[in-house]
Structure 1
Amino acid sequence: MLNRFSRFCVAALLALTASAGLMPAAAHAGTYDDYFTAVKMDAPRELQDLIKRGLGPNMVEPQRGYSALMLSIREDSMKAFDVLFNTPGVDLEIKAKNGDTAIMVAAFYGNLPVVKLLLDKEVEVNRPGWTALHYAAINGNAAIIKLLLDASAYIDAESPDEKMTPVMLAAVRGRTFAVRLLKEEGADISLKNADGMTALDLARRFNQQDVVEELTGQHTSWSAQKPGS
């Protein structure tokens, strides 16, 4: 049996855990589900109410380990994002189970305003393995790529296992404008991935002819190419 003081300590510990956003799903049941529903449905009032009731801004959903902030970016729930981003104590560097962070998710989905906000808060852009610049190259958003490079993102970062650099990923996806920007900013197009292939080799393998022409200096129709494509 717990005495009165012990019960008080347990209750205080649970309250602190909830306010930090670490309360497990079983402990909050319906309110926990309501919290992530509010994020997905982009319902700021409901979300604010749940935060006031003790579910802090750093709650993590169990499936992928996404923080509520990361989930709001993935779901394009920008009203919910604003609530979470401006809540005191929000952790902008939480990592999902796969290692993704908020800025990586924003770069992957091409959300330029969110990337700007996170960079203004000086979030980390360089890390071992996958980076925000990798994801921006996959998406092909040149404006995000430039912002990340201006924030000292490592231009030749290698992905785990396959050793793919951002320019290689842009080449594979046919992101011609992104390839050009990365090349102009100093990306080493002579680097090889784990299979011994350069960005040019990959562009040829995946039949990305515009990228092949860009990398070989033969591109003649650049004016028709739009940023972010």
Structure 2
Amino acid sequence: MTLFLAVRMQQVLPEGLQNYPDTADMMDEDLQEDHAKLKQGLVKVLQCVATISSAAAVVNPIFGVAGSLIRVVLHHIDDEDIRTLKKEFGSVHRSLDEISQQNQDTLLQIKKEAVDGQFYKVEENLRNQFRKFMEIVEARPELRERKKEDFRKSYGDDLHDQNLHTLFDGVMGKPKLFGRPILEVYLKHSKYNRRTMERLCTRLTHLFCIGLIALMGYAAIIGTTRRD
């Protein structure tokens, strides 16, 4: 498994600004591009959600539109298309979350040593980061700036993108926080049950999904380029 994330930032204009188009025009063009990207991306996302049997199918299309969504929302574009897109974007998370919740019963029956404590903390942080991201998306215009600052602060309080790194290392078998690899622990305690391992992988994919979405939103807000 490889985890690759590239977040595009708006480049700083070089000297000789007078030779470049007006910045307001450039911003309008960027927002139009984001708006178009949202429409194209969400069509793919919703097609995936309609047919998925695991969360893995939605990773690529969904993380590609998160940055565009937050930029459009923060510029107070609120036409009928955007309202529809926000509603549909929320439905993506609900679909992913339903998949994760369906896996809980089986997973909770398995005794999984000390890895659980650390794993649940990482999961809690990732869920909270995504929840704060969605608060910006769903906020009324007059509350959007406050929600943006809440998200920025909360993202830092919840260890930035370290949760994604920790979860990735745990899946890949690097010791660090987890005493033993997550997959190895679950494999042992499930007695090599294939169905249980499929459910675990779906749950992990869900966490990577919401973690990447929150990271894309955070990078779009602070204007930073990150590559992990």
TM range (shorter): under 0.3
Looking at both structures, which has the greater relative contact order when contacts are Cα pairs under 8 Å and sequence separation is at least 6?
2
With normalisation by structure 1, the TM-score equals: 0.23
Larger radius of gyration: 1
With normalisation by structure 2, the TM-score equals: 0.23
